[in-house]
A and B are shown apart, each in its own frame.
Chain A
Amino acid sequence: MIDAHRQAFKEEAYELVAELETSLLALEEVPDDKETIGRVFRAMHTIKGSGAMFGFEDIAAFTHEVETVFDLVRNDKIPVTKQLINLTLSARDQIKAMLDSSDSGSPVDDSAAAALILELKKLLPQTGEDDFTPVSATKAPFQPQGNLLTYRIRFKPAPDIFMSGTDPLKLIAELSDLGACRPIAQLSGIPVLEEFQPESCYVHWDIILTTARGKDAIEDVFIFVADDCEVVCDVIDDGSIETEGDYKKLGEILVERGDISREDMDKVLSMQKRFGELAVATGLAKPDDVQSALVEQQCVKEVRQERQVQQADSGTSIRVPADKLDALVNLVGELVTVQARLSQTAMSKRDAELVNIAEEVERLSAELRDNALNIRMLPIGTTFSKFKRLVRDLSNELGKEIEMTTEGAETELDKTVIERLNDPLVHLIRNSIDHGIESPAERISAGKPSQGTVHLAAVHSGDSVLISITDDGAGLDRDAIRAKAVEKGLIQATAELSDKEIYAQIFAPGFSTAKQITSVSGRGVGMDVVKRAIDALRGTIDINSTRGVGTTITVKIPLTLAIIESLLVKIGADCFVLPLSLVNECVELTREQVEDSHGRNLANVRGHLIPYVPLREQFGITGTPPAIQQIVITEVNGLRVGFVVDNVIGEHQTVIKSLGRAYKNVEGVSGATILGDGSVALILDIPHLMRGAEMSERA
């Protein structure tokens, strides 16, 4: 391939050399013809430019000298003389000789080239001894440094930045590739609507970036806009451990940035109130500026804190057997239960002193709970490295080129969750490699790079962790899945389903669209097992796929299994809890609504029909329901189902207890918890109840 390029270059170069000769001879006839001078220049320019790209560095270097002279001719700095034409013609012969020699391999006379250059240089005006140092826009900016530096970057794009095809957000995205990046958009420059030009940029950004890369890397990001935009980049934390004490006061930051003057700061300070509020109130600083300075303060504080923690880490970590930790978490669970009882008792006794104590205990036990659970947290990265090996081995076996990238390896999850997550993730990655990524030949014909990518990412989201597996393979075949699901009787042939609902079919037992069974996958055992394992972790799976572009499978897992936030509800005399993470909203269900729906369990919620499960009937609880019941609407994998209960009591910290051997296989219930008054509430297994409802709906 490289040879083909070289050959193409040489053919072209010979043409150019011939063209050069004709033009030079023409120039001799008409010495000041601009057009001809331009032709001479372009020919040399192209030989030089392409020569270096295809490995003819000697030709490029030599031609560069000649071109420099002609650049001056072109700009009327030196005249076209007989001598110049003679020299250039000799130079042209030299270039041709150099081209020839690259074929035959016989060396060219270097001294001739050197002599020519010397002669040509004599023609240059004495003032301009140009010393060209090639500067490349894309020089490798990587400068590994031990310390993390924190920079403050003020990026003020020119108002007409969009006119040059530059997207400022892409620059900020590029910055965030360098390290932890916190951009603060400054909106104070946006004018009122009448004066607003939609094609202008009124926003500027203050960006706090913590990175191990040098300032060069940051400047490289802004290299194309540096001339027109205001980019100020300062180190605000140099990463040295010796930095003691707190970061600068807000006022000092604003002064340093030039947002206010030092006198103004002193004036404000003398008023002795919170600086930020005062600076804004007196109109000396804009709210945006203060906000941005506050973020900077916060960022640097965090960076320094982390560093101290890391330092502390290295000295004082101890190894503790896992079962000791489990015992601790169990005890904390008991404590939380007892504390709930204490609070309830204190409230009912109406004893102010006791309520005080109960509140104190509540605060402490919540803190203790968080700490205890934190101890069991491990970074998920340990399993990521295992997957790398898996990808490598599998792709070799299947003859595919696959690269695995990971992100968020430092995301922490409960130890037991990580262990139980291993198998489902292996299944999902196998699937991506086997079904998702195409063979190199197929990929190339589809216009993709021959190497496929599997990207594994973990990120915190509220009280859950999102783990996503993204491949850039063929994507799911919606029609094939649909056909298969119809064939298996999972869905009606006429059913109108969204993409998500169709994709969800791949989790049905015995489902596989693979035409051929490979040693890796295709037997259709797997995805349903994955689904069950994730359900057991109280997690959910979400699929996104675009045909020909790739598939993303996102697994959402609660941070911990021991204690969850839940919603406490009542049916008759019994209490039940639903995991709060699955609950969407609660609506009322009146007796008239039930009668209106003609025996079908569907509720109209703001125009959407939502199926519901009357739990009273489901669990065979006797007695009459109240006139107004409550529907708790839950959402699992994009499917919304309501559960009808008598009463919604409220949020509850639920310490999960397993049901013991005898009740382990009870369907619809995933565990139990002890309430403040000592009674037991069952934890509803929402995904299972949903499936049950779906089944009975079809039957």
Chain B
Amino acid sequence: MGKIIMTVDDSASVRQMVSFTLKQNGYDVVEAVDGKDGLQKLSSSKVDMIITDLNMPNLDGIGLIKGARALPACKFIPIVMLTTESQDSKKAEGKAAGATGWIVKPFKPEQLITVVKKVLG
């Protein structure tokens, strides 16, 4: 059974790239278009990890992380946020909300996989 990873991003191309890379490495992927959509999908399906963008309409990444950590099934799963280098304060905010780690955009597929393997084991 492959592990299930949820990718949350309002950019379709990033979602496509993340999900393609993950699938190629044997993971199953659930896509969500923003934090609100992500939380909704989390309540109905079990995921092993979340990769989320921070800047999103409706509900941003920080809100998603906080919401996910409040769900019993997501209390201890790794959550990785996608940030840009100019968002150091956001990084701290994300960590405080319960993010496990971060990936700095732009990133290459290999970097994504390295981080996924690191936190997912």
Do B106 and A132 touch across chains, with their CB atoms under 8 A apart?
A: no
Do B98 and A135 touch across chains, with their CB atoms under 8 A apart?
A: no
Tell me the chain A residues, 36-94 only, with Cβ under 8 Å from chain B. Answer: 39, 41-42, 45-46, 48-54, 60, 67-68, 71
Interface size on B, residues (CB 8 A): 46
In this assembly, does A107 line the interface, its C-beta being within 8 Å of a C-beta of chain B? no
- Tell which of A67, A130, A447 has the most Cβ of chain B within 10 Å: A447
Tell me the chain A residues, 142-166 only, with Cβ under 8 Å from chain B. Answer: 162-166
Do B25 and A166 touch across chains, with their CB atoms under 8 A apart?
A: no
In this assembly, does A170 line the interface, its C-beta being within 8 Å of a C-beta of chain B? yes
What 0/1 readout, one digit per residue, does chain A (184-226) give for beta carbons within 8 Å of chain B? 0000000000000000000000000000000000000001100
Do A447 and B115 touch across chains, with their CB atoms under 8 A apart?
A: no
Complex CA–CA separation, A136 to B82 (angstroms): 11
Shortest Cβ gap from B78 to chain A (Å):
4
Residues of A within 8 A of B118 (CB): 170, 174, 224
Known: A53-B105, A138-B115, A228-B95. A1 touches B20 (CB 8 A): yes
Do B24 and A449 touch across chains, with their CB atoms under 8 A apart?
A: yes
The contact of A138 among B11, B75, B103, B105, by CB within 8 Å, is: B103
Residues of B within 8 A of A41 (CB): 55
Residues of B within 8 A of A166 (CB): 78, 100-101, 119
The contact of B79 among A133, A165, A167, by CB within 8 Å, is: A165
Known: A5-B16, A12-B12, A449-B25. A42 touches B55 (CB 8 A): yes
Complex CA–CA separation, A381 to B77 (angstroms): 39
Complex CA–CA separation, A163 to B78 (angstroms): 9
Do A163 and B106 touch across chains, with their CB atoms under 8 A apart?
A: no
What 0/1 readout, one digit per residue, does chain B (68-102) give for beta carbons within 8 Å of chain A? 01000001111100101110000010010011111
In this assembly, does A275 line the interface, its C-beta being within 8 Å of a C-beta of chain B? no
Do B101 and A223 touch across chains, with their CB atoms under 8 A apart?
A: yes
In this assembly, does A8 line the interface, its C-beta being within 8 Å of a C-beta of chain B? yes
In this assembly, does A134 line the interface, its C-beta being within 8 Å of a C-beta of chain B? yes
In this assembly, does B104 line the interface, its C-beta being within 8 Å of a C-beta of chain A? yes
- Tell which of A41, A45, A71, A163 has the most Cβ of chain B within 10 Å: A45
Do B106 and A49 touch across chains, with their CB atoms under 8 A apart?
A: yes
In this assembly, does A247 line the interface, its C-beta being within 8 Å of a C-beta of chain B? no
Complex CA–CA separation, A300 to B57 (angstroms): 55
Do B119 and A50 touch across chains, with their CB atoms under 8 A apart?
A: no
What 0/1 readout, one digit per residue, does chain A (3-20) give for beta carbons within 8 Å of chain B? 001001100100000000
Complex CA–CA separation, A133 to B104 (angstroms): 12
In this assembly, does A532 line the interface, its C-beta being within 8 Å of a C-beta of chain B? no
In this assembly, does A448 line the interface, its C-beta being within 8 Å of a C-beta of chain B? yes
Tell me the chain A residues, 167-181 only, with Cβ under 8 Å from chain B. Answer: 167, 170, 173-174
Known: A8-B16, A227-B95, A447-B2. A49 touches B100 (CB 8 A): no
Complex CA–CA separation, A174 to B99 (angstroms): 19
Known: A46-B14, A53-B108. A449 touches B99 (CB 8 A): no
In this assembly, does A137 line the interface, its C-beta being within 8 Å of a C-beta of chain B? yes
The number of chain A residues touching the other chain, given as a range, is: 35 or more
Complex CA–CA separation, A174 to B117 (angstroms): 10
Known: A60-B106, A68-B86, A166-B119. A136 touches B111 (CB 8 A): yes
Closest A-chain residue to B27, C-beta based?
A447
Closest A-chain residue to B77, C-beta based?
A165
Majority secondary structure of chain A interface residues (helix, strand, loop or mixed): helix
The contact of B76 among A1, A68, A133, A165, by CB within 8 Å, is: A165
Do B14 and A42 touch across chains, with their CB atoms under 8 A apart?
A: no
Complex CA–CA separation, A60 to B85 (angstroms): 13
Residues of B within 8 A of A45 (CB): 55, 84
Complex CA–CA separation, A227 to B11 (angstroms): 30
Do A50 and B100 touch across chains, with their CB atoms under 8 A apart?
A: no
Shortest Cβ gap from B62 to chain A (Å):
14
Closest B-chain residue to A162, C-beta based?
B76
Shortest Cβ gap from B37 to chain A (Å):
16
Shortest Cβ gap from A74 to chain B (Å):
10
Complex CA–CA separation, A331 to B75 (angstroms): 66
The contact of A165 among B26, B100, B105, B106, by CB within 8 Å, is: B100
Do B28 and A134 touch across chains, with their CB atoms under 8 A apart?
A: no
Complex CA–CA separation, A67 to B85 (angstroms): 12
Residues of A within 8 A of B82 (CB): 49
Shortest Cβ gap from A440 to chain B (Å):
13
Residues of A within 8 A of B101 (CB): 137, 166, 223-224
Complex CA–CA separation, A176 to B72 (angstroms): 31
Give 9 closest A-B pairs by Cβ, nearest first: A52-B106, A224-B101, A165-B100, A49-B105, A9-B13, A138-B111, A165-B78, A46-B11, A170-B121
Which residues from chain A sit less than 8 Å from chain B, CB to CB? 1, 5, 8-9, 12, 39, 41-42, 45-46, 48-54, 60, 67-68, 71, 130, 132-138, 162-167, 170, 173-174, 223-224, 227-228, 447-449
Which residues from chain B sit less than 8 Å from chain A, CB to CB? 2, 10-14, 16-17, 20, 23-26, 28, 55-57, 69, 75-79, 82, 84-86, 92, 95, 98-108, 111, 114-115, 118-119, 121
Interface pairs (23), CB distance under 8 Å: A5-B16, A46-B55, A52-B105, A52-B106, A53-B14, A54-B17, A132-B86, A135-B85, A135-B104, A137-B104, A137-B115, A138-B103, A138-B107, A138-B115, A164-B79, A164-B98, A164-B99, A164-B100, A165-B79, A165-B100, A224-B118, A224-B119, A447-B28
